[in-house]
Structures are given as C-alpha cells and as structure tokens.
Amino acid sequence: MFDKIAAHPEGISAARLAEQHSWSPSYTARLLDAQASFGLLKKTLGPDNIGIYHITETGKYMVSDFQGSFDGIFTIFSKRVMKSMSDIPDLIKSGEEGYKAQWVSSQLQTDGSADKQGPKDQQPLAEPKMPEGCQEKCAAGCMKSGMKERRMYQIMEALMYPYRDDIVRAFDLSGFKTVVDIGGGTGFLSYNLSRTYPDMKVTLMELPKAIKAAKEQFQPPDFDKLNVSYLEGNCLKDPIPDASLYVFCKVVHYFEEKKIEELMRKLHEKLPSGGAIMLIEDLLSPMRVGQPPANCFDLLKMTEKAGQNRTIEEYGSILERCGFAKFKCIRSNEESVYDMMMAIKD
C-alpha cells in the first residue's frame, strides 16, 4: 500500500486509491486513517473537505525501494518468523535431534538437495544425521521460506541501517589499512567502512550469489569513490586474503563452536601483530537473559537450526583459546541487535 501511495507525491484520497486498485473505499479510508494515527501518513483536507494522504518522513521506511526500508522485515516476520515460532512446541516435545531431522528434511527438499522422504509423521526421530553441507546452507543464508533473495538482502540492510554509524565507529579502526568483510552480504557494511575510513582498503568476501547481487543491484551511487573490491568465496572452505582486520557481522552465530574456533585459529595465524578480529553479534547476558531482541533472535535461530546466540564470556573464551590476548566489547542499546567485539593479536 505504501508503494502505491508513494507513486502519488502530490497525495491521494482514499476513494481514488481504492478505485485504482478495486478496494473497498470505506475500509481503505479506515486503514489509511490508522496509519496516519501512527505518524506513517499525514492527512490533510483537499477540495470539498476530502482527506488527502501523504507519506511522512517516518512512513518512507515502509516504501519497499527506500534505503533502509522495513518492508522486508515485516514480510519476513509475517511469513517466516511467526511460522517458526509456532514450531516451538514441536521442538520442545521432540527434542533437538528429533526436530532437526524434520527441519533438515523439509528445508533441503525445497531446493532438491535431498531425496524426497515420506510424510512428516513417518520420518524417524531417533539418531538423525545432519546431511553434509547443511550448516554451510544455513551460514549462506539459504532462503528457507522461499523468500526472494533481493528481499532477504534488503532486510539485512534495513536491520543495520539505523545503527550504521554506531557499528563502524564503535572502535577506532583508522589504524587498519586492509580489511576483509567476511559474509558481508551485499556490502552495506563494507561501503560504510570505506566512507568512514577513506584510507582503508576493504574486500567484501561473500558467496557468488551475494556478490552478483552486490554488483548488479546494491552498488551505491558513490561506489566509484569507495575503496571496496569483491571476492567470491566461502570462508569455511576457500583461501581468505591477508588483512590487518577481519570483520564478521552476524555471521559466526551460524557456526558450531568447533567451527568458530577453527576459523579464528586460521585467521590468528594470518594476522600480523596488532591485527584484529571484529565480531558483530547480538549478545546474551552472562545469565543468558539478554535484551529482548537478542533472546527473540535466539529462539528464531533455535527453530530454524541456524545457530545460536552466545554470551560475551563465551566469545571471549573462544578467542582466548585461539591466541588472542586482548578482547573488548561495546554493548549496544536496548533497541539495537548489534554488539561489537574486538580481539587483537599481540
């Protein structure tokens, strides 16, 4: 609806909007009035005292092609998150392994990656085996609900958009001249790093589909002024370029602790003295009762078998075992889902 209203910058009446799209005039007017009450639309009186609706500055975030749009977020919550949350009773009853067997079968069948099995109630729940590559599918952000990839990438950018400056300025990164943004989606963080630190050379390392989308659909207008390059690759399998800083934004929570440790050890060996790892995640408190977004996202990851949230202490312990002597963290505010951690090599 907001896309349709945005097509009329001069404003539009409820009756005209309803006529154009064969909607109920009275229900359309009531819906627009409700949106105006939230400040997403502004209602003024036109000729003959007819209400005319305009999108407000806040309402722009509901338009699908507006940078930082929340449109995709609402879509994923209605089509994916609510469904996943409804699976929690099955998870609690069946246990992790039983639920995993059902989940893996249903998800891999959507892209033909696994042979078709019997009905859900006939699938075995005991001692299931996670198919080879399933974790990589999760880490790659497979579209588990059939969501279009562009929409998924838009959601990733929209979640980060309000906190983009907080993320790149949480630590003083001016001393790092070569950075690899690993698993950085379509490059939103890479572009903002380059804008904030013009002397920094940033490499976005991602899977081929994401790199293709970054080049063809998500390159910013000022790309020619940025020092950002692209590299196709899987950080769990392919060589990772040398750098003084490796950044992972909402990536390592997909991995089991063993895989995180293997990856961090490999990067510790590559880093020069003074080099660092920066992890951006939504952290749980030591009691595992964190800020509400962190626990809600942890439940979502639980239902989708797509990793888990961890505490500061857990990440600190992993990095210490991998040889990093200096570890620090900056917690975000209650509304944010981004906590910044940095581990430095002596």
Tokens linked to 305: 């078998």
Catalytic residue among 8, 54, 253, 268: 253
Pick left, alpha or beta for residue 252 (phi over 0 → left; psi -120 to 50 → alpha; otherwise beta).
alpha
- Whether 179 and 243 have beta carbons less than 8 Å apart is answered as yes
Helix axis angle, 257-270 to 312-321, nearest 10°: 50
d(CA 77, CA 75) in angstroms, rounded, equals: 5
- Whether 188 and 213 have beta carbons less than 8 Å apart is answered as no
Q: Can 253 be counted among the known catalytic residues?
A: yes
d(CA 235, CA 46) in angstroms, rounded, equals: 58
Q: How far is CA 99 from CA 96, 110, 122, 304, in A?
A: 5, 17, 13, 10
| DSSP structure string for 104-121 | HHHHHHTTT-S-----GG
* Residues designated catalytic: 253
